[in-house]
């Protein structure tokens, strides 16, 4: 099963990029025992449109175009469900057992996501009610994917 993180914007070189690479590599290595393929990160260029609605629509279309057929689509959404790490691991396991071709995590742009993309969501996932910078959301998501793989493989990384 493929795991894809699709995000609006590109990370510049720096500590956030290093952490993303580290957690993606760890999740990939640990996930192999579960039949997971490498964690793929797809960066979508931010729209340059003048109007917020047009930017949102263009970015949502670009994100929708990277979703494989039959994938579980998870939107990072402040109004989504706040799952703990064990619940996220359980959900990943269920998608794997149901033979999902891929799991796609979507991190939208500053203007949000179009309703047409929100309607495709299998799950809306929240990292709390506060607003996080997109760079940190990506780091936190990749860390949670690594943590989920360690939970499912019985690795001692997750102790809570």
Helical axes 134-153 vs 15-31, angle rounded to 10°: 20
Spatial neighbors of 71 by CB under 8 A, at least 6 apart, are 2, 4, 100, 101, 102, 103, 104
Q: SS3 for 126?
A: coil
Q: What is the pLDDT at residue 160?
A: 63
Cα(70)–Cα(1) distance, integer angstroms: 11
Domains, in order of start, for the chain: 2-153 (3.40.1280.10)
Q: What is the pLDDT at residue 158?
A: 80
pTM, rounded to two decimals: 0.94
The H or E element spanning position 43 is strand 39-44
Cα–Cα distance list, 132 to 13, 39, 67, 139, 140 (Å): 19, 22, 24, 11, 10
Ranges of the chain with pLDDT below 50: none
At 57, list the tokens.
């629509």
């Amino acid at each position: 099963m493929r795991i894809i993180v699709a995000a609006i914007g590109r990370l510049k070189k720096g500590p956030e990029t290093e952490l993303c690479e580290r957690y993606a590599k760890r999740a990939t290595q640990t996930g192999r025992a579960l039949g997971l393929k490498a964690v793929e990160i797809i960066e979508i260029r931010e729209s340059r449109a003048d109007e917020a609605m047009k930017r949102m629509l263009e970015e949502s279309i670009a994100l929708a175009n990277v979703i494989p057929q039959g994938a579980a689509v998870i939107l990072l959404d402040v109004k989504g469900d706040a799952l703990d790490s064990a619940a996220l691991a359980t959900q990943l396991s269920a998608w794997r057992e149901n033979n999902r071709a891929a799991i796609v995590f979507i991190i939208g742009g500053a203007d949000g996501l179009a309703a047409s993309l929100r309607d495709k969501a299998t799950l809306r996932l929240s990292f709390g009610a506060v607003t996080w910078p997109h760079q940190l959301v990506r780091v936190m998501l990749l860390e949670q994917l690594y943590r989920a793989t360690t939970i499912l493989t019985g690795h001692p990384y997750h102790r809570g």
